[in-house]
Structure 1
Amino acid sequence: MCMVIFAPIFAICAFATCGGYYGHLQVKVDCADRRQSNLSINIDFGYPFRLQQVHFKTSLCEVKREEIIFLDGDFSAAAQFFVTIGVFAFLYSLLATIVYVFYQNTYLKNNRGPLVDFVVTVIFSFMWLVSSCCWAKSLSDIKSATNPTQVLLLISACRAQENKCTVTQEPVWSNLNTSVLFGFVNVILWVGNIWFVFKETGWYKTGQRYPTRSASGKHSSEMRQRLYSESSFEQPDEGFSPQPTRPDSFNQSKGVHKQVSFNQSQISFSLPQTNLGKPEISDRENRVASQGPMIFVNEV
């Protein structure tokens, strides 16, 4: 929503303050012989800041003759590039606003709209950064080229010590300084909008559909698995303790009873946290002592 509201406004402020600038410089030349005095020289310049084409006329104090002086520097490339980016950003912001409001379903169909919007937003963010930096550097050079001290040195009459030259009016740079400020504000705005546009793309939705398990998630899953394992193997001790045997229960009509004892040192049961009951030693006629559970096998 901030992109829809603020992007067109800041884009207009950026290219309007730069493209609509008009500067005026006025100097006054007083000749020593007083034959030519109060000579006011007006120097006007503005967008696109081709200063090498800006010229003004001034008279020579020694003779009644005029000279034509040109300023130095051509800064039109950076200024026009900055204004062009501002105009295109304004037009794209209006188009995006119309699509967001009236064609939302078409915008989200097949994920093409968010992808195109994401790519264009990244491009404009980079272009705003480059154009703002170039324009800030060019503005510094424009101020140096139109510095009243520098301009007075171009006038032949002012280079003579007997003549007096003064500056009566200097250019106002507030509009151009504001344009640079708006340029970097647009950089912040468009770079911040990259995240919101990325959330509408399929790349972000795919990452949300298959989220990566964090360390805390893995730890909680392992704890649940351990608790489940412990609860599964926790059985009453009597299930593993040997039952006392009765001699009468093994008296069958057929078969011979044979006792087989398994040594616990030969066969071990590895169960998690399972405590086997202490084996009981039963005294029989053969006085067989068992170190583990007694298992009787009936041989047929």
Structure 2
Amino acid sequence: MQVPVDSLSTDDSPRLSGVNEEHIRQLAQCVTPLPPIIVHRSTLSVIDGVHRLRATRLNGRTHIAVQYFDGDANEAFLLAVKRNAHHGLPLTRAERNAAALRIIGSHPEWSDRMIAAAAGLSPKTVGSLRRRSSDALPQLNVRIGRDGRSRHVDTSERRRRAGEYVLANPDATLREIAQSTGLSLATARDVRARIHRGVSPTLPKRSNDAPPSGEAAATQRTTASGVSLTMAKALLILKRDPSLRLTEHGRFLLRVLDTNAMASSRWDELVDRIPQHWAGAVAAVARQCAASWGQAALQLEERARTVEGDRV
């Protein structure tokens, strides 16, 4: 699709030092058409292709080929970092560090390895950036890896230090305990309760083969083990999973589920407003939709039982 170059913005770029004029001149001299740039549809901000946009302007062209990206601002920035960290004119080390800090802030639940892969850094560097930003950014005890699975962070040492802090400062608030040790407020509360009960502030080591726990595990066991979740709670969990939010098929699934969830809450109102002469036709379509969803549910339940059986 061709859009006017003057309608596009380059304000939210991960490039802190601006553009490379020499690279723009080289692109402007290309005789073959340049690949379409990627643009955030809702803001018209360029995600990937700032240099190509400038080269197009340098050549006096008024329009440029674009490929739109649908997603929120954080997802758009994440894609910009991924594209510019690994392709074309790479980001500088300082730009990748700054991008990683922003991703830590927008996706604190992501593992160091997952953020490192996006920003083109080592997991060790991301871990160092996370520790240095612990006062300003939320500290979570569960992180999501590149495979989409949730894993507990080993907080044994921080729990031990928090226990010592509580003993030395019995009137300390939960926020003070958390800030002094880098723990979340929930974990600080648990440590304080353990100290008051006279037990160790640390938890037993978890086996690497143990099944995932928390919200991700609840989602996986919803049908196989009979764990029931409300529709709203299940949708909230699914929307947090990067394996769905950051893939085309996953976003489509979330949109479909979200639309059906909203419609389900309004059926009483919708039924009353459907014209009488279309009631039978709409009922027939509704039954077909129900049958289709029912078949999908059976297939998903079978997959869930298979996963559960593999764990036994």
Shared fold (TM-score greater than 0.5)?
no
Aligning the two structures, in what range does the TM-score lie when normalised by the shorter sequence?
under 0.3
- TM-score normalised over the length of structure 1: 0.22
Structure ranking higher on relative contact order (CA contacts 8 Å, 6+ apart):
1
Greater helix fraction, Structure 1 or Structure 2: 2
- TM-score normalised over the length of structure 2: 0.22
